[in-house]
Structure 1
Amino acid sequence: MRVEQKKQKKKRKWLRNTGIILLILLIGIGAYAFSVYRSLTTAVETMHQPLERNKSDKRTEQVSLESKQPFSVLMLGVDQRSGDKGRSDTMIVLAVNPNLNSVKMISIPRDTRTEIIGKGKIDKINHAYAYGNEEMAMKTVENFLDIPIDYFVRVNMDGFKEIIDAVGGITVNNDLDFSQDGYHFPKGPVNLDGNKALAYIQMRYEDPRGDFGRQLRQREIIQGILSEGASLSSLTKYQSIFSALGNNVRTNLTFDQMNKIQRNYRSAAGNVQQMSIKGSGTKISGIYYYIVPDDEKARIQTDIKAQLELK
């Protein structure tokens, strides 16, 4: 009887000790999760930059993420320096449709000649941001593509270095052998830290594709950041990642809206279709512009309107 009691006592003690260990682990994980959540919400609050308007002038009602309506995002890559807010050297429009499970991505050449809405002049499209920040850039792109732009995400291109270093570097598949800023980039998979990535993204003149080749490398950098940021190994670096995002990204998306996009539009992210704008370069009064013919503009507008399910 005593032997049996001793066995039961040992068993209860083992269970109690195991339970304490599990509880400590759970508390630790909970504290870790809370720390991650708190850091994330702080970063999102820092990134959030509301606009004066609640919706696009090209929408009768504000887009509903809860109802899974298609929406659009303007991504602005800004060459921002101290004392100078810079120009949007990168302008990418994403049209997200959960019903078609797809995202259409179109890069607008920065030298595209168009009307700058709110400025009353014809100029390069990337000057819209310099004239009137995100608001004027969004309205100008809306006019150019004849679609509503619902959200913006602005990234300080120089801050890409901090973001890339925070995720531990990225790998891209380079399709052109070239050198830039003292770095050599061979064809094939290339590992990039922040400084190399900035050189990789800035090269344009050695590329026979010109600005289109640069846009391709910019998209590769963005995809590389997303890939590394989603990897398990990056979870231990979350604080530096969130800090880098908070320092270099601004958006009118709220934390709640980001959650809805992640929940309701996640499957669409696996099918990204790239669109290109065809045109030609020319000089007008000694200034270089990229001219998009009316029929090409109409083709792009028709495709992207169908993606957004607009009449």
Structure 2
Amino acid sequence: MDQINKKKKKKWPWIVGSIGVLILAVVVYGIVVFKGLTDTAKEIHEPIDRELSEKREEPVAFIKKEPFSVLVLGVDEREGDKGRSDTMIVLTVNPALKSSKMVSIPRDTYTEMVGKGVQDKINHAYAFGGIEMSMDSIEGLLDIPIDYVVQVNMESFKDIVDAVGGIKVTNPLDFKVGTYTFPKGEITLDGEKALSFVRMRYEDPRGDFGRQDRQKQVIQAVMREGASLNSLVNFKSIFGAIGKNVRTNMTFDEMIDVQSKYRDAFGKVDQLYIKEGQGKMMNGVWYYMMNDQELESIKVELKEHLKL
């Protein structure tokens, strides 16, 4: 009996030691990941020269869990040219309702370029006045405050897709772009294929609206994969890809607040659709003219979601 007890006593130090090493490894790994996260957050943070929106009396207070909005700009930057914001997605986040709403704005939408005094395609606002004019013009179009902005370099977006290990999306139609074939149904995409998948427009019977849906699918898939446990192994490459290709006016402390206080709101994302407008040629240029009734309905829904 004493011999058995001795054997048990010999096992316990080894087990406790192993658990201790495991806990230490997890702590060290957590510190490394956190360090990578803070470094990346500092790298992508870019203050913008823009005062508080006139549609807000005071800044959003995350500590009070107030609803807020984010504009996602997918920008095609070209050498010697500021580029165009060909992807414009507005996200409103309401923690009390545990929901988010997402709406894609057609790139050819005819509206006022706030700060320039002319009307043009909404995606030209970025070329005319950068992020600030894009935010101001979209505020004018939707009549809601745009609190934060996330700018993504679309040409290098493929690096982010590759960093999370690829993504899965549901393709609504068969089509081919260059050497890539995209069959209908669930497909797996690497970075290069994802970029071709979101850019295709002319073979889609729904045109720009079909492309908007594919863009939202890819963004949601990247967010889903990025949040998975498997992606923690690749955190260095993920942070590296984000650091090179993403810019935002949200600070690290604000990101932490959103992650801790608004997490449940990202579990349900309702998609709003702009589809009742019509195309119109003016001076040889094609524009998308929004349907006033549909636009008003979207404004009301977003305002209610932001508790305005």
User: Pick from 116, 119, 125: which aligns with 2:113?
Assistant: 116
Counterpart in 1 of 2:299? 301
Give 5+ residue unaligned stretches, structure 2: none
Distance 1:226 1:111 in 2: 27
Distance 2:51 2:37 in 1: 24
Distance 2:225 2:60 in 1: 30
Amino acid at match of 2:294: E
Counterpart in 1 of 2:134? 137
User: Pick from 58, 61, 64: which aligns with 1:64?
Assistant: 61
Distance 2:163 2:293 in 1: 44
Which shifted more, 52-61 or 251-260?
Answer: 52-61
Distance 2:293 2:217 in 1: 29
Distance 2:294 2:179 in 1: 39
Distance 1:25 1:270 in 2: 31
Segments of 4+ moved more than 6 angstroms: 6-9
> Deviation of residue 11 (structure 1)?
5.1
Counterpart in 2 of 1:79? 76
> Deviation of residue 12 (structure 1)?
4.9
Give a deviation string over 1:22-65, Cα, whole Å, max 9, x none.
Answer: 22222222111111111111111111111233522210111111
Which shifted more, 73-82 or 184-193?
Answer: 73-82
> Deviation of residue 166 (structure 1)?
0.7
Amino acid at match of 2:170: N
Q: Would the alpha carbon gap of residues 176 and 307 (structure 1) be closer, same or farther in structure 2, given more than 3 Å must change?
A: same
CA contact (8 A) 1:54 1:62 kept: no
| Alignment TM-score, normalising by the size of structure 2 | 0.95
Counterpart in 2 of 1:280? 278
Decide which structure has the larger Cα Rg and report it.
1
> Deviation of residue 20 (structure 1)?
2.9
CA contact (8 A) 1:73 1:150 kept: yes
Instruction: State the aligned residue count.
Output: 307
> Deviation of residue 13 (structure 1)?
4.6
1:152 aligns with 2:149: yes
> Deviation of residue 84 (structure 1)?
3.0
Distance 1:303 1:201 in 2: 27
Q: Would the alpha carbon gap of residues 273 and 14 (structure 1) be closer, same or farther in structure 2, given more than 3 Å must change?
A: same
Counterpart in 1 of 2:264? 267
Amino acid at match of 1:169: G
Distance 2:22 2:51 in 1: 45
Give 5+ residue unaligned stretches, structure 1: none
> Deviation of residue 190 (structure 1)?
0.7
Counterpart in 1 of 2:29? 32
Distance 2:178 2:39 in 1: 35
> Deviation of residue 14 (structure 1)?
3.6
Amino acid at match of 1:180: V
Amino acid at match of 1:18: I
1:44 aligns with 2:41: yes
Amino acid at match of 1:106: V
Counterpart in 1 of 2:158? 161
CA contact (8 A) 1:76 1:152 kept: yes
Note the aligned Cα RMSD (angstroms).
Answer: 1.7
Distance 1:207 1:230 in 2: 31
Distance 1:308 1:230 in 2: 25
> Deviation of residue 9 (structure 1)?
6.3
- SS of the equivalent of 1:93 reads strand
Counterpart in 2 of 1:245? 242
- The sequence identity of aligned pairs, in percent, is 53
User: Pick from 234, 257, 260: which aligns with 2:231?
Assistant: 234
Counterpart in 2 of 1:23? 20
- SS of the equivalent of 2:165 reads coil
| Alignment TM-score, normalising by the size of structure 1 | 0.94
Amino acid at match of 2:173: L
- SS of the equivalent of 1:85 reads strand
Give a deviation string over 1:90-120, Cα, whole Å, max 9, x none.
Answer: 0011111122222111111010011101111
Amino acid at match of 2:110: R
